[in-house]
Amino acid sequence: MATSATTEITFEHMSHPAPVPAAKREEILENPGFGTNFTDHMVSIDWTEGRGWHDAVIGPRAPIALDPATAVLHYAQEIFEGLKAYKHGDGSVALFRPEANAARFNQSAQRLAMPEMPEALFIESIRQIVKADRDWIPAGDGASLYLRPFMFASEAFLGVRPAKQYKYLVIASPAGNYFKSGAPAVSIWVSDYTRAAPGGTGAAKCGGNYAASLVPQAEAIERGHDQVVFLDAAEHKWIEELGGMNLYFVFSDGSLVTPSLTGTILPGITRDSILALARDEGLTVREERYSLDQWRADAQSGKLVETFACGTAAVVTPVGKVAGREVDFTIGSGGPGQLTQKLKNRLVAIQRGEAPDPHGWVMKV
């Protein structure tokens, strides 16, 4: 993997001619929602074959003009990341494991035949936008600045081959507490569609995976559920993940299981963090295959007491009900479980600087 300790690229700073007025910004920050409001700035860096990364700019957030033949519009060569900046109690600003996002971004880039970015440059790009839009970080319970780095094939060319030009951008969006008063348990639908096949792009964070998950997700909503869960493509038996969150199963003996990273599951940073925190607590966590049939049997026998989904956006979400063409069962009492809440609180406390950070996950900006 291409990494470098220092970035030789310096960012050009372009000041914003007309940032959102402070009063308007404060109004937005009182109730930011998720993904609908954006900050004043963005990062832009270009990559050209033979030249590498160049023209790094932190400047005003603005539309980008694309030639109609731009490769991404035709063959979906695009990857992204998602991470958050938090305002700590002492007024400082922190990121959570940005180097893990940088590493995963490069793994996604490899799978989509795109150039890798030095990890130091990725992290510097995040720091640049957080510094420029520092006033956009909402304070308060569960609030953060959601950061969205992404890269796409920007060459105007219709041939089928990796593009020779790419654009990397970072935009930022203030995010409120995903769930106002603690996460309610969600109901999930077991999809007959598959999200990822062996040898496919399931482990890469690419927009195409999401495009393919929209019909299954809409079907879940239509049937009265909140989210969709996907089974493996080969046997349609093993539980993989939700459209954008990984899963954990909690047993009555206090142990946990999360599906192993087989190549069809996205390696979540929240998943990995919970793995470490649960082990810190002395809990047994197994990464292994777990089938839908077993899930139902264990929920009905009482062996399985909790299930939760996890990811950066909503952190930890309890699963209360599961239904599919051949199954319909409730997990525990159908509400949020105790261990789910405990692990969530542990993770959030570290992210917010309210608890010690034994793994060195928090990076001050």
Ligand X SMILES: *Cc1c(COP(=O)(O)O)cnc(C)c1O
The two tokens of residue 191 are 């999809």
The two tokens of residue 209 are 């995976």
271 vs 344, beta carbon nearer ligand X: 271
Residues linked to residue 241 through DSSP beta bridges, in sequence order? 230
DSSP count for the chain of H helices, then E strands: 8, 18
93 vs 204, beta carbon nearer ligand X: 204
Q: Could you tell me the smallest distance in angstroms from the CB atom of residue 243 to ligand X?
A: 6
142 vs 332, beta carbon nearer ligand X: 142
162 vs 208, beta carbon nearer ligand X: 208
Q: Could you tell me the smallest distance in angstroms from the CB atom of residue 79 to ligand X?
A: 10
Closest CA to 347 of 323, 305, 316, 322: 316
Q: Could you tell me the smallest distance in angstroms from the CB atom of residue 226 to ligand X?
A: 16
Q: Could you tell me the smallest distance in angstroms from the CB atom of residue 240 to ligand X?
A: 9
Dihedral angle, C-alpha 207, 65, 149, 93, nearest 10 °:
-140
58 vs 112, beta carbon nearer ligand X: 112
Q: Could you tell me the smallest distance in angstroms from the CB atom of residue 292 to ligand X?
A: 18
Active site members: 205
At residue 101, what is the residue type?
N
Interface residues toward ligand X, by CB under 6 A: 82, 205, 241, 244-246, 266, 268-271, 311-312
The two tokens of residue 289 are 């295959």
The two tokens of residue 335 are 């509400």
> How many alpha carbons fall within 13 Å on the CB side of residue 276?
13
Q: Could you tell me the smallest distance in angstroms from the CB atom of residue 265 to ligand X?
A: 7
Can you point out the beta strands (E) in the chain? 12-13, 41-48, 52-60, 78-80, 83-87, 93-96, 144-153, 165-175, 186-190, 227-231, 239-242, 246-251, 256-258, 285-287, 304-311, 315-323, 328-330, 362-364
At residue 188, what is the residue type?
I
Residue 156 near residue 67, CB atoms below 8 Å = yes
SS3 for 129? Answer: helix
For the stretch 243-265, what's the b/e string if a residue is b when 16 or more beta carbons lie within 10 angstroms of its beta carbon?
bbbbbbbbbeeeebbbbebbebb
- CA 349-350-353 angle, to 5 degrees, is 85
39 vs 312, beta carbon nearer ligand X: 312
SS3 for 327? Answer: coil
Q: Could you tell me the smallest distance in angstroms from the CB atom of residue 360 to ligand X?
A: 17
241 vs 298, beta carbon nearer ligand X: 241
Residue that has been written with the tokens 């940088």 in this structure: 102
Residue that has been written with the tokens 């079907």 in this structure: 219
Q: Could you tell me the smallest distance in angstroms from the CB atom of residue 311 to ligand X?
A: 4
309 vs 339, beta carbon nearer ligand X: 309
- What is the rounded distance in angstroms from the CA atom of residue 30 to the CA atom of residue 205? 31
